[in-house]
Structure 1
Amino acid sequence: MFVFRYMLFSVTCLRLLDPVVSPEENWKPGQDVPLKCQDRRNVTITLIKWQKQGHGYVFYYRDELIYENYADESFRGRVHLNDPTMKNGNVSVILKNVTINDTGRYECLTGTSSMDSDVQLIHILNLTVTDPGHREGGHVGLTLGLPVVAAVLLLAAI
């Protein structure tokens, strides 16, 4: 019975360390977007890394300092820690003035020491920024205008 309880406890602890994966979030250009992440391990967080797949760091925090120069150039000056006290493990950041180029997969990692090797993947989210006035495959004017021009030319030929 003791072995079974220990195994159950071990499996439960391992599940707590699995990263949370959020459903895809859709935003419009120009909005300020919260990239939410909460470390539920009840530990003192000394290292926070937010990264975008294929782009490097979005936000880098270590030993109570934000290293903005570590961030990919496209994110510099646009990312801020939502709660500097990190109450209850809240390491969410705000990405300001998003563009379509911000679309992608974001990962939140935290650590309990200032060593880069001591990080835990906590949260994964997929962000989509779409412009409602933009249509895939070209401009609305061309999409609607070309068939009208073709019909007029066809009528003129007849």
Structure 2
Amino acid sequence: MSFADIIKDYGPPVAWALAFGSLFYNNKTSNHREKRKEFRAEIDLIEKVVKEITSNLMTYLKKPSRDDDAVSLEIEIKGKFQELFFRWDRLKKRQKGGDLGLYMDPCSANVAMLFDHCTGDYFETGKRIPGELIAAHAQKAQVHALTLIESLHSLFLMKFDGIKNPSP
């Protein structure tokens, strides 16, 4: 049997097998790319919500009394936190165990710390924060927000790039 006979007899099935293999490979890589985009988009939306929370909190803290505007901001802040919780739960559901749990725990802790700080003292009370403490309180909220965002980006890097550099 010559090389030409081998090509004539086995060439078409090999070509078909190669085409099917390529289709499966392309499908797998495009699904991975889509999951990566969806995960990144969800992190970006969480980041946007966190920035809105901190912005609203700063406006709220500057209110001299708990008037209708302050109550409206309280409702908006609580609503944004609910959106944050829903989005974080959605991200958690996309995980499949393994080492990612080690990176999800700091994210969950950072979500809780941000919520506790923003809705803790002086929130939904007639007692207003003293003027000299507003900057420190807002700065601490910003630090919690940035720590949360950084932990989400570390989770992304671990999930898709295998970079094991835990967030603070």
Structure with a larger share of its residues in strand: 1
Provide the TM-score with structure 2 as the length reference.
0.30
Which protein has the larger Cα radius of gyration, Structure 1 or Structure 2?
2
TM-score, normalised to structure 1's length?
0.32
Point out the structure with the larger helix share: 2
